Amino acid sequence: MQLTKFGHACVQLEQDGRRLVIDPGGLTDPAALDGASAVLVTHEHFDHFSESALRAAAAADPALEIWTNTAVAAQLDGLGNRVHRVGEGDAFTAAGFDIQVHGAWHAVIHPDIPRISNIGFLIDRRVFHPGDALTVPDQPGLQALLLPVHAPWSTLGHLVDYVREVAPKHAYAIHDGALNDTGIAMVGGLLGEHGPGLGAPYTRLTAGATVPVS
């Protein structure tokens, strides 16, 4: 399996010519969807979900299918049975990958801001994308945790504890599109080898970079 980072929270997983894209939002180049066999969307916020990009990709490829929660699916009206509504506890196959859904709610930003639904996706029991939440999947020996490193709903201390609890073999940064160079260095310093320790190596991939996931 090959993991490629695209803009902000978007990644692509590829194996044997099959491409699965997760969270191609408004901060992601729509080209991330080129050649995709299936798309997963964790929630409706613009940085994770672009209706226009998904509709364009669906028009370009009549075989493209999308799995997401009820709120996002409602915004893709007209695509029929190509859009699949899933929630916590569901399991399915997309682009030949085995997917399990974990979590139900977006992390709390502030008590005065209503929460929305958010689902995380566990792919082939190896890679976990939590969306905008620090959901702990019930999966020991996780190969790769896609770690949302910058958001209004978390602190770096929360992230340290989260990675320690999940205990993946590697943590890869996502959700970093609003960070400038100073912020990237600060986050990397605290989550990397000079911080308090995650129990797993931490890597920030630049857009377009690819790493193998065994």
Please provide the average confidence, as pLDDT, over all residues in the chain.
97
* Residue 165, helix vs strand vs coil: helix
Rounded-to-integer distance, Cα 47 and Cα 124, Å = 25
What pTM, to 2 d.p., does this model score? 0.97
For residue 214, what pLDDT band results from cuts at 50, 70 and 90? confident
**What are the residue boundaries of the structural domains of the chain, listed by start?**
2-205
**Per-residue CA distances from 83 to 74, 80, 117, 189 (Å):** 9, 6, 17, 40
In tens, the pLDDT along 58-79 reads 999 999 999 999 999 999 999 9
* Topology given in CATH for the domain delimited by 2-205: Metallo-beta-lactamase; Chain A (3.60.15)
